[in-house]
Amino acid sequence: MANNKVNIQAALANYNAGIFTSQQAAAKAYNIPQSTFVDRLKGATTMRASHYHQQRLTPEQENFLVDWILNQDMKCYPPSHARAREMAS
């Protein structure tokens, strides 16, 4: 997901800098849907950002949960789905 975000930002920057002469070329060069590229060019926000108020966890809580799960996994004690849900609530 983060890679896609980086690709979109790079495509927008290069298009705005005049490196690409068309929106289609910029989107194709970075392997992103042309509709996504055009939407971002027009200033649209990501789906995640536009539905922020509907998320169960804040970004900080989500990052904490991800870090906890990865930490448990590194200790060879990956949490069950039930335990992860419990931690999230």
- 3-class DSSP state for residue 52? helix
Judge whether 27 and 11 are in contact, CB under 8 Å. Answer: yes
Are 46 and 60 members of one domain? Answer: no
Are 33 and 59 members of one domain? Answer: no
Identify the pLDDT of residue 38: 93
Using 50 as the pLDDT threshold, list the residues of the chain that sit under it: none
Is the pTM above the cut of 0.85? no
Distance CA(57)–CA(81), nearest Å, equals: 16
* pLDDT, tens digit (0-9, with 9 covering 90-100), for 30-55: 999 999 999 999 988 877 777 878 88
Identify the pLDDT of residue 83: 94
Identify the pLDDT of residue 48: 74
Are 37 and 8 members of one domain? Answer: yes
Strands (E), the chain: none
**Domain span holding position 21:** 2-50
**What is the tally of structural domains in the chain?**
2
Token pair of 28, please? Answer: 């194709």
Are 34 and 72 members of one domain? Answer: no
Judge whether 41 and 15 are in contact, CB under 8 Å. Answer: yes
